[in-house]
Structure 1
Amino acid sequence: MNAFIKKNHRTLFYAAWLLIGLLQAGLTPLQDDEAYYWTFSRFLDWGYFDHPPMTALLIKIGYALFPNELGVRLMVVLLNTATVAICEALTERKAPFLFYALCGVLAVLQLSGFMAVPDLPLLFFTALFFYVYRHFVKDASPRNIVFLALVTAALMYSKYHAVLIVFFTLISNPKLFTRWQTYAAGIIALVLFLPHLWWQYGHDWISFRYHLFESNVNPYKFNYTTDYILGQLLITGPLAGFILLPALFIYKPKSINERALKFTGIGVLAFFLLSTFKGKVEANWTAPMVVPILVLCHQHLQQRTKARRWIGRLVLPTLILVAIIRFVMVVDVVPARVVQERFHYYHGWPKELSQRTGSLPLAIPSSYQKASQYWFYTGKPTYSVNEYIWRRNNHNFWPLEDSLLGKPVAVIDGAQPWTDSLQTPMGTIHWSVDSAFHSFSKIMIRPGQSTYEIAAGAPLNITARADVPLHYAAYLQQHPDVDAPVKIGLFKEGKLVHDLPLQLSVQGLVKSPQQSFQLPLSVPPGTYFLRFAIGSDAGWFTHNSDKINVEVKP
């Protein structure tokens, strides 16, 4: 038996890794974000509000083979297994059982390795990038130039954080800037990435504006930094983080490729540490540093007998902990809201509600999570009507609202009277049937400027123009009785201060797109922003402008 294991250990390890991932993928209910990315695949495109399109493409491929949870995650599970294999190749397979032990204590590779989220293709292409880069620095042949360009483009199509990997690799080896091959690879990668940039241009650079200026912009809190540090220790463990994370800093690289790995691992950690001073940072944003951790810790621990023994001792406790968490993901046995909300809230009730509402599509207020989960588990197109007090997402751009305009729709938790209600794990859901649904988030009101300055107590004068899509304009002209109100929300630090009602309706915007407003802002000096909003039948007001910054001077 021992001889068989010694001879076939690598095959056994990867077969077990893949099989466990496939079982977990098929048995675990979709998380909210996974269901959302599944809806991406219903509208395959070169870009999305939140992310580049790689995850949508992978889901599209897998779901075409298996139209269920396994199909959504199939390609990700395969990529996760390939990621581990490439990382082992980057270590030159010097100590395979140490490598297996490191995979065993890195719980994040096991517990997230089956989830259809952008971090997983990013992780795969990060590992592949360093594998190709190793060959490129040894031989910058035309073949390796093209391979490096292809992988770099795939990185960028996975998640925008990929730019950090490229940046830290470049600064780890300044000689790259003196080689024409580097620029050739960069130009080819840029050409391959142009379709996404063209999509961004056509959508007013919405993803870049959101991630750079709207998302994760909050007043600093000390716990943003402490939570981030603790989160990184847990990600690189959870039990072995105190060994693995310091090893990344201690290890002295022995090659150009290892130097790039170290620069990237530490650089990504430092970048997001600094980002905590701007707002809350999610622990998973540092996912690319798992590759440097796995590779460099393997190299470091070969010469550290005591630390290596500790890793060996922590494998079994970590695997037991992982096994318990895997079970809890599949079976609803833990009465903890955080677990139930993430994995078990969508058992049963979507299908029951679908039976009650018949063939009607569904509209849900400001919840791409509920909308996506309901759509996945019932097969019915479901529209998240994003209210002006929350953030936008892809439901603001897909042709869902357009297709529902003036048609019968089942509306969840809209204005009373309600037709019926349903008890769910999330609480009571009320719904009613809107015989002619009206929502107008595709109408955009654009002011003459994006920033205004006024003195405290002075009115704010704004001139704006409404862009009304032809489909909406034609419908409103044919239905003059449909006359939703328009208002402006005043916000400070992301929270609504109060509404500013306007003597204006959606019919007025169609008849006279150019409008001027004098707004009395009775607020203390400070930084605010405004947002136009148009009402809907259900009583919700949607996003109908970008942020309009206002500085109120003393």
Structure 2
Amino acid sequence: MELAFPEVPGGERDGVRGIGSLLEVLARNPLTRFSPSARIDPGSGPGQALSPPGRGKPKSRLGLAVAILAGLTLVRVIGLAASVVDLFPDEAQYWAWSRDLAWGYFSKPPLLAWTIAAADHVCGSAEACIRAPAPILYFATSLLVYAIAATLYDDRAAFWASMLTALGTGVVFSARIISTDVPLLLFWALALLAYVKLLQQPKLSWSVVLGLALGLGLLAKYAMIYFLLGAGLAALFEADARKLLTRREPWIALAIGAVVIAPNLLWNLHNGLVTFGHTRAVVNAEQSLGLHPKSALEFLAAQFAVIGPIVFAVLIVCLARLRSKLLAPSDRLMLAFAIPPLALITATALFTKAYANWAATSAVSAIVLAAAVLTRRENWGLLRVSIVLGAIAQFVFLAGDAFATKISLSFLPEGQRDLYRRTLGWRAFAEGAGQLARKIGAATIAGDERNQLGALYYYLRDEPVKILAWPSDASVNFDLTRPLTETAAEPILLVSVCPAPARHLARYAAVEPLGSFTAASGPTSSRTYFAYKLAQPRGPIGPLPACG
């Protein structure tokens, strides 16, 4: 199969001024007419004749891309070492899972925990080591995006696509933390590359790659399922994609993916489908009656930050021209994989809260499409603006993470001045609880809230005291493996944000308030915790009544 490549226009150069001009130009004619049997000669100037496939190629930009991406990755790893940002509760939760490897966990599939366990084995348990897989995996993701764009378009588009990936604002932010989106995007990009290769020339080897990528992507995050919707939409858009479905290769890939994810599905069945139940609970948590178009618009607006302002602008214009005959098959292919996550999460946002990163997988094909459109039209200025914006964001986050404990903006309302208040104070909280535990000789520390438990488990990992979770109706993840029971070693130190000791009397006969302590979360902010010494359980430990 030979994908069609659009003709390079003759008049568009660096003079397009800003996003507004780009939208105006692309709205009239986003892509030029294409020849179904011709490929752009990347070395030819605008307006020159199309060259037949197989003509000499220009010098590859792959080496330059690898060098830039490797340098950026090194800077990011150094930035992690310089960061003073505490491990966020979600990150601490993932680390806790990594100490007890399994085929599944309360709220997520297992791949991220396995990744952290590998990093811990190689590097250690420091915050920088736990987060180190993020920039390294994004390095690989950027190279995969290069390969996708090089396969569909040309080497210029590939180079810029890799740069737009690595310096996209969402990736710049995400490369500082460890989250499920990191391996998800890696395997989404690998799956998309394998799919494109199968379209060009169906081979069993690429079926295996696609199947493994699908399965491993699902083991990273269930959002990988959107890939199948993208393949279905591609078949709706293009005859070649429909033809592929009549061959055995994609179905072999689907079978391989099913085999890879099967152990996680069996784990869920054995544990009452707990992961799927949690996912449903998150979606339903803030659901309310009626439609909320404002929420959907806010989600879409957030994509300018997640995907990148210029990339998302190009995507919007191309979506608006989806039915145009001026779109090439390769462009429709990229749109097909960008649409399902964006459409489904936007629809979800009409009814409940949707987080900006829930459609992160749309970024991969959106970036490839934007790089192709902008290089085709020789809009070098907009490409450079995108890269500069990403570089500025990278510098801001590197500096901010290194000086997080000192950053406070006095012009913001009180309570919002410390920008890092959500990610600081967890070490101080755990150390304060540890000091109290040693003071009273506690054999057990109990927490009644997920954020506290993650911090306690991570920052007191070298302490002999046992960390247990007070059972809750919400069934926080630690309840599954570390519940507080009536057999827990005494005395027990309970740390809580609730100042009401009476609510513990139904479960313990001896409840001694120990006062409160604070943990600074920035120059002007802190959190207050209350401590209790518990003994003499009255029976099985059940959920606590509401505070107050």
Fold in common (TM above 0.5): yes
- Cα distance, 1:189–1:8 mapped onto 2, change above 3 Å: closer
Question: CA 1:214–1:71 in structure 2 vs 1: closer, same or farther (change >3 Å)?
Answer: closer
**Deviation of 1:152 (Å):** 1.0
Cα distance in 1 for partners of 2:262, 2:128 equals 32
Tell whether 2:408 aligns with 1:346: no
The CA deviation at 1:111 is 1.6
Structure-2 residue corresponding to 1:58: 115
1:9 corresponds to which of 64, 79, 84: 64
Does 2:226 match 1:141? no
Q: CA deviation at 1:295?
A: 1.0
Letter in 2 for 1:107: T
Letter in 1 for 2:74: L
Range 226-235 or range 336-345, more displaced:
336-345
- In structure 1, the residue matched to 2:192 is 130
Q: Flag the structure with more relative contact order, 1 or 2, with Cα contacts below 8 A and sequence separation at least 6.
A: 2
The counterpart of 1:94, out of the listed 136, 139, 155, is: 155
| Alignment of 1:84 onto 2:142 | yes
Change in 2 beyond 3 A, CA 1:31/1:184: same
Which digits, 9 at most, give the CA deviation of each residue in 1:463-487, with x for residues without a partner? xxxxxxxxxxxxxxxxxxx246xxx
Alignment of 1:317-336 (within 5 A): 317-331=389-403, 332-335=405-408, 336=416
- How far apart, CA to CA, are the structure 2 residues paired with 1:13 and 1:329? 22
Aligned counterpart in structure 1 of residue 468 of structure 2, from 377, 383, 392: 383
Contact 1:126/1:155 (CA < 8 Å) preserved in 2?
Answer: yes
Tell me which of 306, 310, 316 is aligned to 1:235.
Answer: 306
Structure-2 residue corresponding to 1:357:
437
Aligned-partner SS, 1:431:
strand
Q: Aligned to 2:356, which of 283, 299, 304?
A: 283
Distance change in 2, residues 1:374/1:226 (3 Å): same
Aligned match for 2:345, one of 268, 272, 276: 272
Alignment of 1:384-423 (within 5 A): 384-385=469-470, 387-388=472-473, 391-401=474-484, 405=488, 407-413=490-496, 415-416=500-501, 417-423=512-518
> Is contact 1:200–1:206 with CA below 8 Å preserved after alignment?
yes
Deviations along 1:342-376, whole A, 9 cap, x unmatched?
322224342243133126442122x2122112221
Letter in 1 for 2:294: N
Q: Look up the SS of the partner of 1:428 in the other structure.
A: strand
Whether the 8 Å contact between 2:444 and 2:490 is mirrored in structure 1 is no
What SS does structure 2 have at the residue aligned with 1:305?
Answer: coil
Question: Is structure 2 residue 287 aligned with structure 1 residue 199?
Answer: no
Q: TM-score, normalised by structure 1?
A: 0.72
1:373: which partner in 2?
Answer: 455
- Residue by residue over 1:490-530, the C-alpha shift from the partner in whole angstroms, topping out at 9 and shown as x without a partner, is xxxxxxxxxxxxxxxx8xxxxxxxxxxxxxxxxxxxxxxxx
Q: Tell me the CA shift for residue 337 of structure 1.
A: 5.4
Query: In structure 1, how many angstroms separate the alpha carbons of the residues matched to 2:472 and 2:163?
Result: 48
Q: Which runs of 5+ in 2 are unaligned?
A: 1-60, 236-241, 409-415, 502-511, 521-525
1:261 is the counterpart of 2:334:
yes
CA contact (8 A) 1:169 1:261 kept: no
Q: Distance in 2 between matches of 1:149 and 1:7?
A: 26
- The answer (yes or no) to whether the contact 2:195–2:210 under 8 Å persists in 1 is yes
Distance 1:38 1:253, change over 3 A: farther
C-alpha distance in structure 2 between counterparts of 1:190 and 1:241, whole Å: 32
Question: Displacement, 1:83?
Answer: 0.3
Pair 1:48 & 2:133 matched: no
Question: Aligned equivalents of 2:454 and 2:516: distance in 1?
Answer: 20
Q: Which amino acid aligns with 2:82?
A: L
Change (3 A) 1:408 1:248: farther
1:213-252 paired onto structure 2 within 5 Å:
215-217=283-285, 218-219=287-288, 220-238=291-309, 241-243=312-314, 245-247=316-318
Cα distance in 1 between the residues matched to 2:418 and 2:365 = 31
Matched letter for residue 204 of structure 1? G
Q: Name the SS for the 2:77 alignment partner.
A: helix
Structure 1 pair 320/186, CA: closer, same or farther in 2 (3 Å)? closer
* Whole-Å separation in 1 of the counterparts to 2:263 and 2:182: 22
Structure 1 match to 2:74: 19
Aligned counterparts of 1:340 and 1:76: Cα–Cα separation in 2: 20
**How many angstroms apart in 2 are the aligned matches of 1:226 and 1:200?**
35
Counterpart CA distance in 2 for 1:20 and 1:245 is 33
Q: 1 or 2, which has the higher strand percentage? A: 1
Change over 3 Å in CA distance of 1:134–1:368 after alignment to 2: same
Distance in 2 of aligned mates of 1:280 and 1:274: 11
Q: Which residue of 2 aligns with 1:73?
A: 131
Q: CA deviation at 1:127?
A: 0.5
